[in-house]
Amino acid sequence: MILILKEDVKGLGKKGEKVKVADGYGRNFLIPKGLAFEADAGALQQLQEKETIKADKQQREQQRAKRIAAELEGLTLIIKAKHGEGSRLFGSITNVHVADELKKQKGIEIDRKKIEIKETIKTLGPHDVVIRVYTDVSVKIHLDVQPE
């Protein structure tokens, strides 16, 4: 019996997948519990259309991410911060500061969760930061922390 899953089923598949199961398992468990429905011609066509739409959306998002990465490539972002003796900052520069400065200086809005700072930035001077724009698209930018 071929079914299309309405929800994730552990050990079987994820929502929206077409799976082949034993007749009894499908009729007596999956369909009555509302976890799946029978895959007839109309349902298979609808599933194919959804997969096509999802693939197109993913491709558009990836192209958008590559454009943003091209804009950010080799960028040096200047951040002003208060400091004390020995060029040590009061506090530290976080991914929130980097996201705010990107928006303010370049007009590019990046989610703070996508900005990776390897080591805590607590001193003036140059630092490197990695921005994951998309799952397989990342770019390294340079921060120049200057005294305020």
Residues 59 and 71 in one domain: no
Paired sense of beta strands 2-5 and 18-20, if any: antiparallel
- Give pLDDT, residue 135: 85
Residues 52 and 76 in one domain: no
CA 140 to chain centre: 16
Q: Which pTM was predicted?
A: 0.69
> What percent of the chain stands above pLDDT 90?
65
Per-residue pLDDT reduced to its tens digit, 12-65:
999 988 999 999 999 999 999 999 999 888 888 988 898 899 999 999 999 999
Which residues span the domain enclosing 82? 67-147
CA 145 to chain centre: 27
Residue closest to 33 by CA, chosen among 11, 4, 6, 2: 6
User: Could you tell me if 5 and 14 are in contact, meaning their C-beta atoms sit under 8 angstroms apart?
Assistant: yes
Residues 110 and 41 in one domain: no
Residue 131, φ and ψ in degrees, nearest 5: -115, 120
Residues 6 and 49 in one domain: yes
Residue closest to 79 by CA, chosen among 115, 53, 114: 115
Residues 78 and 90 in one domain: yes
